[in-house]
Amino acid sequence: MLEKNPFLWIIASAFVGAFVIHPFIMILAEVMVPVAHGADTDPKFWESIQMAFSFSMLPWTFGFATMGGFTGWILFRMQSALTEEKKLQGAMELAGAACHELNQPMQVILNCAEIMSSQLREQDDLRLYADEMISQILRMDKILKKTTRITKYRTVKYVKGRIIDIDKASDSDLMI
């Protein structure tokens, strides 16, 4: 019946797109956004699945049913970007607060270690420890500076979950 009447084909296609495919894509986006950001799965993987699903409908439709798929895909991308932006904002605020709070005591420790190092003889074992303290404090300073330059939300696996990857998340040339 649908082959004989193209108008019915268009209406059926639009119906399937609007009431079957579009809600399915929306549910898929709602379920997969948290999974993609919380699990080890790359969010691009789910985007490609949604896009492939939308394109798989092209041969049997005149574009009406795929509209629901593309709408779901666009909403998924927008929701994913918003989630990413919120995570980035939280990471940047936490990084700024931590850097501010850690910088003051770190400077005091650095000053004490430099005074200690300058007052000890070169052969003294304590001077080696003081110099190592200075070296590690300067390394901490680089990490804090890099942390203040976080511009992206990137994580890496850690003992019981994930942590922010400071090297990949920041736009800094500083080597740690």
Helix (H, G, I), strand (E, B) or coil at 156: strand
- Buried-state track 21-56, b at ≥16 Cβ within 10 A, e below 16: bbeebeebbeebbeebbeeeeebeebbeebeebbee
Each domain of the chain, given as residue ranges in start order, spans 6-84, 88-169
Residue 108 is predicted with a pLDDT of 93
- Buried-state track 97-123, b at ≥16 Cβ within 10 A, e below 16: eebeeeeeebeeebeebeebbeebeee
Amino acid letter, 77: R
Residue 8 is predicted with a pLDDT of 56
Amino acid letter, 160: K
pTM of the model as a whole:
0.50
Residue 115 is predicted with a pLDDT of 94
Residue range 10-25: mean pLDDT, rounded: 59
Which band of pLDDT confidence, cut at 50, 70 and 90, is reported for residue 93? confident
Structure tokens at 169: 């998340």
Whether 130 shows a pLDDT value over 80: the answer reads yes
Residue 54 is predicted with a pLDDT of 52
